[in-house]
């Protein structure tokens, strides 16, 4: 798992004093190692600053959403990070429960007191795809089933990055993925390419001075991109089928299908989510 994260990490991952992975960085002119808890605390401090600036009010308490697969150790680490950041946490909430709560809180009057409204939530963010089936009645929600796997938008980005990096290496003889600055440039470019492929059959990519003062330009078709995504499609299908099976809710009783997360804008993700629930329209 750590090896996979090294591809995306902006800092070198090393063993920290507590025996867990940490981040080695230059800080105040010195080489220092920060634990994952310390790094998360820094994010929380910044998030608190942004929130207080936007709301023009002090953050008194918080509820933090975490992935459902988080163990007690993971959850305690999140609480420790929040404590270091000076944030009071009322509770940790599974992300799919938070999504369902956000969906239902303003629709409470639309739900029947006895007959449940069943909604499937398909969520794909940067690194996780999850599916949950939730039933709503007036004033209450019940999570019937939830399944997830490590597959998300960054996996699509990685496929594109490796493809274009190979093309650049063949042309120039240098590997952009071996240089963090070049990797960041390439990542930024492929993110735009991925978005264009969501609406067009072909997309281009252009990077000025990608590496060794060499520019890079290329094209890719949606069909080639889809071939790259086949391993991801298999994972997505397994999660969808596993959640449906775990819920034991017949397809005809699924009233709505909601998609959440930036990566759900990718056409093949939306198509798979719709097809899994009998071709229902997505919201």
Q: Are residues 20 and 117 in the same domain?
A: no
Q: Are residues 118 and 191 in the same domain?
A: yes
Confidence (pLDDT) at 147: 96
Question: Per the domain annotation, does 103 fall within a domain?
Answer: no
Residue ending a domain, choose from 94, 128, 152: 94
Q: Are residues 150 and 258 in the same domain?
A: yes
Confidence (pLDDT) at 120: 97
Q: Are residues 153 and 276 in the same domain?
A: yes
Question: Per the domain annotation, does 100 fall within a domain?
Answer: no
Q: Are residues 142 and 237 in the same domain?
A: yes
Chunked in runs of 10, what are the mean pLDDT values of the chain (283 residues)?
80 87 91 94 96 94 94 96 96 94 89 93 95 94 95 95 96 92 94 93 94 94 96 97 95 95 93 94 86
Question: Per the domain annotation, does 102 fall within a domain?
Answer: no
Give the span between the Cα atoms of 281 and 283, in whole angstroms: 7
Q: Are residues 12 and 113 in the same domain?
A: no
Q: Are residues 17 and 139 in the same domain?
A: no
Residue identified by tokens 């590997």 is 175
Rg (CA), the chain: 22
Closest by CA position to 80, among listed 42, 37, 36, 18: 37
Q: Please check whether residue 66 is in contact with residue 93, taking contact to mean a CB–CB distance below 8 angstroms.
A: yes
Residue identified by tokens 């600055």 is 181
Q: Please check whether residue 108 is in contact with residue 138, taking contact to mean a CB–CB distance below 8 angstroms.
A: yes
Question: Per the domain annotation, does 57 fall within a domain?
Answer: yes
Confidence (pLDDT) at 127: 92
Confidence (pLDDT) at 1: 67
Q: Are residues 179 and 131 in the same domain?
A: yes
Q: Are residues 116 and 202 in the same domain?
A: yes
The string of DSSP letters for 132-165 reads: EEEEEETTEEEEEEEEEES--HHHHHHHHHHHHH
Residue ending a domain, choose from 60, 94, 128: 94
Question: Per the domain annotation, does 20 fall within a domain?
Answer: yes
- At 115 the three-state DSSP class reads coil
Q: For the chain, how many structural domains are there in total? A: 2
Which string of b and e fits 139-162 if b means at least 16 CB within 10 Å?
eebebbbbbbbebbbbbbbbbbbe
Q: Are residues 44 and 159 in the same domain?
A: no
CATH of the domain at 141: 3.30.420.40
Q: Please check whether residue 186 is in contact with residue 219, taking contact to mean a CB–CB distance below 8 angstroms.
A: no
Q: Are residues 13 and 144 in the same domain?
A: no
Domain that includes residue 283, residue range: 109-283
Q: Are residues 82 and 187 in the same domain?
A: no
């Amino acid at each position: 798992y750590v090896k996979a994260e090294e591809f995306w990490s902006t800092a070198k991952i090393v063993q920290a004093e507590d025996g867990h992975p940490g981040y080695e960085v230059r800080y105040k002119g010195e080489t220092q190692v920060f634990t994952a808890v310390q790094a998360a605390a820094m994010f929380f401090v910044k998030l608190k600053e942004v929130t207080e600036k936007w709301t023009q009010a002090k953050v008194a308490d918080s509820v933090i959403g975490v992935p459902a697969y988080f163990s007690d150790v993971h959850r305690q680490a999140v609480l420790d990070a929040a404590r270091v950041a000076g944030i009071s946490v009322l509770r940790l909430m599974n992300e799919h429960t938070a999504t369902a709560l956000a969906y239902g809180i303003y629709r409470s009057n639309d739900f029947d007191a006895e007959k449940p409204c069943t909604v499937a939530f398909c969520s794909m963010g940067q690194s996780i795809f999850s599916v949950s089936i939730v039933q709503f009645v007036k004033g209450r929600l019940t999570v019937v089933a939830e399944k997830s796997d490590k597959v998300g938008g960054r996996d699509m980005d990685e496929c594109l990055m490796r493809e274009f990096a190979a093309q650049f290496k063949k042309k120039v003889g240098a590997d952009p993925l071996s240089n963090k600055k070049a990797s960041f440039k390439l990542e930024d470019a492929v993110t735009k390419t991925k978005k264009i492929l969501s609406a067009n059959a072909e997309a281009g990519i252009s990077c000025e001075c990608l590496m060794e003062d060499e520019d890079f330009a290329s094209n890719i078709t949606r069909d080639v991109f889809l071939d790259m995504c086949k391993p991801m499609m298999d994972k997505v299908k397994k999660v969808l089928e596993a959640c449906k099976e775990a819920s034991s809710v017949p397809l005809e009783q699924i009233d709505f299908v909601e998609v959440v997360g930036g990566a759900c804008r990718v056409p093949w993700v939306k198509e798979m989510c719709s097809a899994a629930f009998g071709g229902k329209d997505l919201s």
